[in-house]
Amino acid sequence: MAETETLAHSKESLALAAFYTQWGEEAVANATGGLNPLTLLRYQYDSWTKHATEPSGVQYENLETDGVTGIWERPTGAAADRVILYFHGGGYIGGSASGHRKLVGHIAKAAGVDALSIDYRFAPEVPFPAQLDDALVAYHWLLAHGYTPSQIVLAGDSAGGALATAVGLKLRDAGDELPAAIVTLSPFYDTEGVGDAFDFNAGNDVMGNREALAGLSSMLLTEGGSMKDPFLSALNSDPTGLPPIYISFGGHEVLKDGGTLFTTLARSKGVDVEYVESPGQQHVFEALAGRSPEADASIASIGKYIRKHLQLS
């Protein structure tokens, strides 16, 4: 059912699979005595987009105020009255605005608008939904500083893509005006591993598997919490009334059925969803921005989508 990009599987894109393989080798080597496994994982997540090139013409500003910490990515000539609010990936347990700076800079440049990429608290020290609470604080901070909902696009990768969707659900439930659109890169929708891709992509996905999913879920929740929580698992949500949503997945991901299943669910509720799958690509393949044609094509498509929904030429 997926609308599929037809780009060839490039040699350049293999660098991400090699990078994820290195993560696994580091974890095995560390198991015999070294860093705390969570410390190592957070170090790895913080280097997630290090292979992206520096986007030319993008300036960065640190933000730390009013309970919101993050980085502004400001492309030259960007529209002054539009913004992307970006949530980084990392399974709710790691990652950072700094580590995702170059990826978000590429997206902001493609869209021609500023982006604010925020940091949020991590599980297991602070279990879910603290991360969602922090995301909502950042959204309301933008409103308090002059942006209207129609001038904001929510975006994120992996767990950050799920957060962007959950913010939309929370705003809808509160009866608030919704942002212009939601953009997700490999969103973590399939929190229970129900998709068949966990089986048929088991030999293709270098990063994800059911064992990793089980280990992550054990860290996210307080006692009595559930991976079925609709604000954690979009597959268990009612998407009725959400703004337009863009979903990008790599064809080799075990999580990709979360995208196709959510697309079917959301469309059945009247939500406008654009699902794009790039053959042979790994989780958040856009991390190779500026280095692989698949990453660059996806970011160009995302930029066009954001401009459309922010009503920019």
* Catalytic-role residue among 158, 233, 237, 248: 158
Instruction: Determine phi and psi for 264, rounding to 5 degrees.
Output: -60, -45
Q: Which residue has the tokens 């060839």?
A: 8
Which residue among 51, 88, 252, 283 is the active-site one? Answer: 283
Q: How far apart are the first and last CA of the chain?
A: 30
Asked about 158 being catalytic, the answer comes back as: yes
Question: Please, are residues 5 and 277 in contact by the beta-carbon 8 Å criterion?
Answer: yes
Catalytic site includes residue 13: no
Catalytic site residue from 186, 233, 237, 253: 253
Residue 237 appears among annotated catalytic residues: no
Catalytic positions, written as ranges: 158, 253, 283
